[in-house]
Structure 1
């Protein structure tokens, strides 16, 4: 009776979340139905031709570029997020902690267009960076950091960094001080304690944060379009081009389903790693 009661309570608590996610599931099913349509502009009949049309070197390069940039941006964001998370949790001054929190949250608060144009003003051929370097006599010609993979990477790292920091902050706050004190009392150095004790305890949070950041970067559209232009054809940009000017709605839906499928695989793999890591930490 108690088990049935606990299950009913769990279902009642999860019901609002299920109701909130229903529209998104409905949109996914609608996209899937469009992706197997026999017509490019409307839902008519059934066909796998939209998926077969994507089996081209161009779309393959787009998938590879998306995975590569999303992975590199996620790796760099995680390397920056870990020290920021420790710094945020170690600050004793409430004012300093609030200021750092607001600074980290700025990419989520500001509009993506504003952030992209800020990068353009900073990295453009006549932007702040190139003008400063030329005035100092360091360079003779502008360094091209826009409309290539470098500019897109910088934009992806900056916009996704908050999504990496705050899940790690929760994990850092949940660290057991008893384990750290035990390692220190046994003669372990700070670096040995960090790599042998702290990192294993943080792995679930690290994997969870990395999966969120990767999914965010893989589905990015505004940053690759504005900072990469037509030269960096990530999947978001490729899907946009299928819709306009090509008006290939079924092809865009098929590409969207492939992107959703790749993201789900990464999320499921991350969940498996988190579960395995949690079990190893318990043992």
Structure 2
């Protein structure tokens, strides 16, 4: 009985925080979306092109950012783990540097690179007399999301790659397996749990990131900006609440699937 009381006392703060910052807001959002929206807010999301396009664009962008981040970060992480060279620690520190910046600052970085006065604009002006700009578009937002997504995956891949059993790789080589076969049959299964975990975090972060989208929001229609517009400019609280719940639901489903797949990968590997 004493141990039960101690356990309850230890878990009580987590219960209070979950109730105050998760359950109550979710219930209130659902109430606003149904009661004030007369129950049609969710139907409008699926039938009105503006809201449906915002939802699909956000999911598509987040998926593409996650895929590209996994590809680039896997190659980079494996290289940094396997090879030693001068300046390696400095390079690793630079790769993790974006994690220190908020989304608004990253948005400014994209503007400095691909805005009207950015580097690409100056190069295009010098070469063809025309400014090359894409900062205030989905391409600019993709670049910003990629900037803060890659470090998360690189660090995860490096941690997983350090646990890679080199004996398995040597055994594969001795049996005549090619580098591609070793990568697919040995390296990828070892990295899969970490890739699934970091990929799900990239997806979730891209789905809900607001600061970068707000900084670049000229011709960008993604859910965080749509929610902000409905809430602050249109005072459409029911639609803002419904969109918020849809965004949370999609992200929650992604994280749940990733968790199950990651657990399955660990089980198969064990």
The TM-score range, normalised by the shorter chain, is: 0.7 to 0.9
d(CA) in 2 for partners of 1:13, 1:110: 38
* Runs of 5+ consecutive residues of structure 1 not aligned to the other structure: 1-7
What residue number does 1:173 align with? 162
| Candidates 186, 196, 199, aligned match of 1:197 | 186
Task: Give the structure 1 partner of residue 220 of structure 2.
Answer: 232
Report if aligned partners of 1:219, 1:259 keep a CA contact under 8 Å in 2: yes
Task: Give the drift of 1:140.
Answer: 2.8
Contact 1:37 1:47 in 2 (8 A): no
Query: What is aligned with 1:132?
Result: 123
Aligned residue number for residue 123 of structure 1: 114
Aligned partner of 1:86 among 74, 78, 85: 78
Provide, for residues 150-195 of structure 1, a one-character-per-residue CA deviation record: whole Å limited to 9, x for no partner: 1111111001111211222221111112211211121222232112
> Where does residue 23 of structure 1 map in the other structure?
17
Alignment of 1:276 with 2:268, yes or no, is no
CA drift of 1:215 comes to 0.5
Shift of residue 75, structure 1, vs aligned partner: 0.8
| TM-score (norm. length: structure 2) | 0.86
The 1-side partners of 2:14 and 2:95 are apart by 28
Deviation at 1:126? 2.9
In the other structure, the counterpart of 1:3 is none
Alpha-carbon distance change, 257 to 15 in structure 1, aligned in 2, over 3 angstroms:
farther
Distance 1:38-1:123 versus aligned 2 partners, 3 A rule: closer
Helix, strand or coil at the partner of 1:187: coil
Inter-partner Cα distance in structure 1 for 2:189 and 2:8: 30
* RMSD over aligned Cα atoms: 3.0
Q: Say how many residue pairs are matched.
A: 267
| The one of 92, 112, 122 aligned to 2:103 | 112
Task: Compute the displacement of 1:53 (Å).
Answer: 4.4
* Matched residue SS, 2:55: helix
Aligned residue for 1:5? none
| Cα drift, residue 272 of structure 1 | 2.2
- Counterpart residue number, 2:62: 70
| Distance change in 2, residues 1:78/1:39 (3 Å) | closer
Deviations 1:91-132 (A, max 9, x none): 546x83431222111111123222211211221133222212
Residue aligning to 1:220: 209
2:254 pairs with 1:266? yes
> In structure 1, what is the Cα distance between the partners aligned to 2:209 and 2:74?
23
Q: Distance in 2 between matches of 1:92 and 1:140?
A: 43
Range that drifts further, 139-148 or 59-68: 139-148
The alpha carbon displacement at 1:70 in A equals 0.3
Change (3 A) 1:180 1:22: farther
Q: How does 1:147-162 map to 2 (within 5 A)?
A: 147-162=136-151
For the 8 Å contact 2:125–2:132, the answer to whether it is kept is no
1:46 to partner: Cα distance: 9.9
- Give, in angstroms, the shift of residue 50 of structure 1: 4.0
| Whole-Å separation in 2 of the counterparts to 1:193 and 1:168 | 17
Question: Does the 8 A contact of 1:31 with 1:253 survive in 2?
Answer: no
Deviation larger for 122-131 or 63-72: 122-131
1:206 to 195, 206, 221: 195
